[in-house]
Amino acid sequence: MKRYGLTFLILAISAILTGGCSLAGGGTPDEQSLPVVRIADGIGSAPYREGVFINLQAAISNADGAISRVEFTIDDRTISQIDAPNPEGLVQFVVTEQWQADGTGARLLRVSAVRDDGVSGEASVMLNVVAADSAPSDTGQPTTVSTSAPAIPATISPPVTLPPPTTAPASPAPPTASTGGGTPEAVFNRLQNVRSGPGLNFSRVGTFSSGDRTPILAVNPGGDWFKVRFGSGEAWVFAPYVDVTGNISNLPRESGPPTPVPQPTAIPTAPPPTVAPDPQLPNLTVTDIGIFVPSDGSSQPRCGVPFVARVTVRNTSDVPTSTGLTLIQNVHVASGTVNGSSGLSLIPVDIGAQGSHTVEYTFTIDTFVNEEQRVEFIADANNEVAESNENDNRNGITYVLQSGEC
């Protein structure tokens, strides 16, 4: 396929003249086409007890059907290899694996995405494994930042409204003994929604309670949803929210039922009746939101200057729960453009009754200078925690981006 001589020279000169600007800003074509691997930020942030199963998750981007395999290694020892991990040819997909922590001390986790031609991208993080009788250290008390926040503007889309959960058709299947060669099980340590398919656009069909466990039957191609036994039938749960016993690497990959087509919502003729909060369900709220610029301590973001957004997710109930996925994003108010987001990095954290958890994310915004922007703080962004009130999970701060380093 190579061509030489004058034709090759003309093509080379043409490529330099037409592509010079983009190469200067983004690297060589080979660099731009490398798979990008990002391990969820919460992994490795706290010690793990020896012997526990750890759910490992990574997002693979700049990807397509040419990704031949994804490898998980601990201290350069392969613990799992997922072949053909992206059968649908998605630009970005998520892989999930589990590892039973063995050996105390610092352990190096590396996740590699390898293309058909052998070119790969990777990411790594250190895991700290402590003795089984040791208690992982506390993350400390959250710092309180009080900042008033205006109402959410109409230009920012609210979370997808889903029908309320219904009573499960039957109690989840009784636990079965898990052995190395047996059926793997999902173990629930919080109240969790169960859906008819692998996605938030599928209806909720019930919940699992803390302490429930059920067999895992299959995994969706993205690796982030499990098909499980639910009552006398089957349903789906969000994988990062469950603990796993047994080996899931040999389970079948299933896409699940067809994605449902949204139906138009009828306009109500009268306001819906007020429903009293369910005391058996947790409730997450977003409080103590704030933004500040570390370089000068001010609360005024400037173009090209990093600033920190901080939020406390609070459980106002007497029921222990998870924070769900916390999402912090920066939005240009006039257009609704999201020009900064925490993505999947602020992973769920368990909090007790009346407990709280504070997280931070750093932004550097360099678009829409001198225009109104808004930092949005969203608890349980995937809407996977069944709550007594689903309407108080968002808050925000509006500001005007000043000229700075741009």
Domain match, 39 and 88 both: yes
Report yes or no on 144 lying in a domain: no
Domain match, 124 and 181 both: no
| Longest CA span, the chain | 79
Distance CA 397, CA 149 (A): 5
Distance CA 402, CA 387 (A): 39
Phi, psi at 302, each rounded to 5°: -130, 155
DSSP assignment of 265-306: PPPPSSPPPP----TTS--EEEEEEEEE-TTT--S--BTTS-
Of 256, 272, 302, which marks where a domain is finished?
A: 256
Of 113, 130, 147, which marks where a domain is finished?
A: 130
pTM exceeds 0.85 for this model: no
Tokens representing residue 35 in the block: 């798979």
Domain match, 319 and 372 both: yes
Distance CA 288, CA 81 (A): 42
Domain match, 304 and 378 both: yes
Domain match, 289 and 242 both: no
Phi, psi at 2, each rounded to 5°: -75, 145
Specify the pLDDT at position 385: 86
Report yes or no on 279 lying in a domain: no
User: Residue 275 carries which side chain, given as an amino acid letter?
Assistant: V
Question: For residue 67, what are the contacts with CB-CB under 8 A and spacing of at least 6?
Answer: 35, 60, 85, 86, 113, 114, 115, 116
Report yes or no on 185 lying in a domain: yes
| Token pair 């012997």: residue | 51
Domain match, 185 and 126 both: no
Closest of 365, 370, 348 to residue 357, by C-alpha? 348
Domain match, 238 and 288 both: no
Q: How many CA atoms lie within 13 A of 127 on its CB side?
A: 27
Report yes or no on 217 lying in a domain: yes
How many domains does one find in the chain? Answer: 3
Report yes or no on 368 lying in a domain: yes
Specify the pLDDT at position 170: 37
Helix, coil or strand: residue 15: helix
Helix, coil or strand: residue 94: strand
Closest of 402, 21, 43, 26 to residue 240, by C-alpha? 43
Tokens representing residue 33 in the block: 């086409």
DSSP assignment of 12-30: HHHHHHHHHHHHHHH--HH
Domain match, 297 and 353 both: yes
Name the residue range of residue 235's domain.
168-256
Helix, coil or strand: residue 55: strand
Specify the pLDDT at position 14: 41
| Token pair 């793990």: residue | 48
Specify the pLDDT at position 148: 29
CA angle 49-50-52, nearest 5°? Answer: 75
Report yes or no on 245 lying in a domain: yes
Domain match, 178 and 221 both: yes
Specify the pLDDT at position 275: 54
Report yes or no on 9 lying in a domain: no
Helix, coil or strand: residue 18: helix
Specify the pLDDT at position 5: 42
- Please name every residue paired with 236 in a beta bridge, in sequence order, or none if there are none: 195, 227
Cα four-point dihedral sign 39, 102, 138, 213: positive
Domain match, 58 and 110 both: yes
Cα distances (angstroms) measured from residue 322 to each of 326, 355, 380: 10, 10, 8
Report yes or no on 151 lying in a domain: no
Domain match, 314 and 244 both: no
Beta pairing, strands 48-49 & 120-130: parallel
Of 103, 130, 157, which marks where a domain is finished?
A: 130
The one-digit pLDDT tens for each residue of the chain (406 residues) are: 434 443 333 334 343 333 333 333 333 333 346 788 888 766 776 677 787 777 787 888 776 668 889 999 998 899 889 888 887 777 777 887 878 888 888 888 899 989 888 888 888 888 888 887 654 333 332 332 322 233 323 223 333 333 343 333 333 333 333 334 578 999 987 778 888 898 877 888 888 888 899 999 999 888 888 999 998 889 999 887 788 998 888 899 998 888 776 555 455 555 555 555 666 888 999 999 999 998 888 889 999 899 999 999 999 999 898 888 888 999 888 877 888 888 877 878 888 999 999 988 999 898 888 999 999 999 988 778 888 888 888 899 999 999 877 7
CATH number at residue 343: 2.60.40.10
Domain match, 324 and 393 both: yes
Distance CA 267, CA 229 (A): 37
Which H or E run contains 105? strand 105-115
User: Residue 184 carries which side chain, given as an amino acid letter?
Assistant: P
Q: Taking a C-beta distance cutoff of 8 angstroms, is the pair 402, 302 a contact?
A: yes
Distance CA 22, CA 36 (A): 19
